[in-house]
């Protein structure tokens, strides 16, 4: 009987551990995302590109510098971020699945700062949830528009060791139109949660 009790105790421990892991949640919070300026700071000379700049039809004078695409990272010492040794690495922005699970619930919300209220200057940002470095579905794309909170909710099947990250596509923190410069289009109040 003691061998059976020992086995039952082990099974119970595994079930408890599995339940504990499967009900974990991880959240990253970035109150304000601004880019690190490149070496050619505020220069509108795009090395190796023609007079059309980065986007044909939009002169470099009309568009502010578009920075390199990158993975969003999160505040480490922030009460709205989860600081866990497993799951979401706040410094790299990468979530690693601790277990195989069909149906991790993933939410992503963000907005753009609007310090240019009253002007007709607008911007947007693109956020993509990448699984193992790839965009697997257009459902994993979030367009963040001025004056609106962007909200994305998806369910993602993951094997143990699979990764998720938020990739920032188009994003500018300022625009120049003619001789006028408009600042303050940075992403803010970004929250990425996995359940």
Chain segment 142-175, per-residue pLDDT in tens? 999 988 999 999 999 999 999 999 999 888 777 7
pTM of the model: 0.70
Q: Tell me, what's the pLDDT at 103?
A: 92
Chain segment 26-80, per-residue pLDDT in tens? 999 888 876 544 433 344 443 344 444 444 444 444 444 454 467 888 877 766 6
Angle, alpha carbons 31-34-111 (nearest 5°): 50
Length of the chain: 195
Segment 187-195 mean pLDDT: 92
Is the pLDDT confidence value at 178 over 50? yes
Among residues 139, 106, 145, the alpha carbon closest in space to that of 125 is found at 145
Among residues 105, 130, 127, the alpha carbon closest in space to that of 194 is found at 105
How many other CB atoms are found less than 10 A from the CB of residue 173? Answer: 21
Q: Tell me, what's the pLDDT at 138?
A: 92
CB 193 within 8 A of CB 161: no
Chain segment 108-128, per-residue pLDDT in tens? 999 988 766 667 778 888 999
Q: Tell me, what's the pLDDT at 54?
A: 44
Q: Tell me, what's the pLDDT at 82?
A: 65
Q: Tell me, what's the pLDDT at 52?
A: 44
């Amino acid at each position: 009987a003691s061998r059976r009790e020992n086995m039952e105790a082990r099974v119970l421990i595994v079930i408890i551990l599995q339940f504990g892991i499967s009900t974990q949640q991880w959240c990253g919070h970035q109150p304000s995302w601004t880019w690190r300026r490149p070496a050619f700071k505020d220069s509108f000379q795009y090395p190796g590109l023609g007079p059309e700049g980065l986007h044909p039809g939009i002169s470099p004078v009309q568009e502010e510098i578009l920075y390199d695409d990158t993975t969003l990272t999160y505040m480490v010492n922030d009460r709205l971020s989860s600081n866990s040794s497993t799951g979401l690495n706040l410094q790299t922005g990468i979530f690693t699945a601790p277990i195989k699970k069909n149906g991790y619930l993933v939410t992503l919300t963000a907005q753009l700062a609007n310090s240019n209220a009253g002007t007709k200057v607008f911007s947007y940002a693109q956020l993509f949830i990448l699984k193992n470095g790839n965009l697997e579905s257009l459902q994993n794309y979030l367009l963040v528009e001025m004056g609106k909170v962007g909200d994305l909710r998806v369910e993602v099947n993951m094997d143990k060791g699979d990764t998720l990250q938020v990739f920032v596509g188009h994003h500018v923190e300022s625009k120049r139109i003619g001789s006028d410069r408009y600042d303050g289009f940075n992403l803010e109040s970004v929250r990425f949660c996995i359940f």
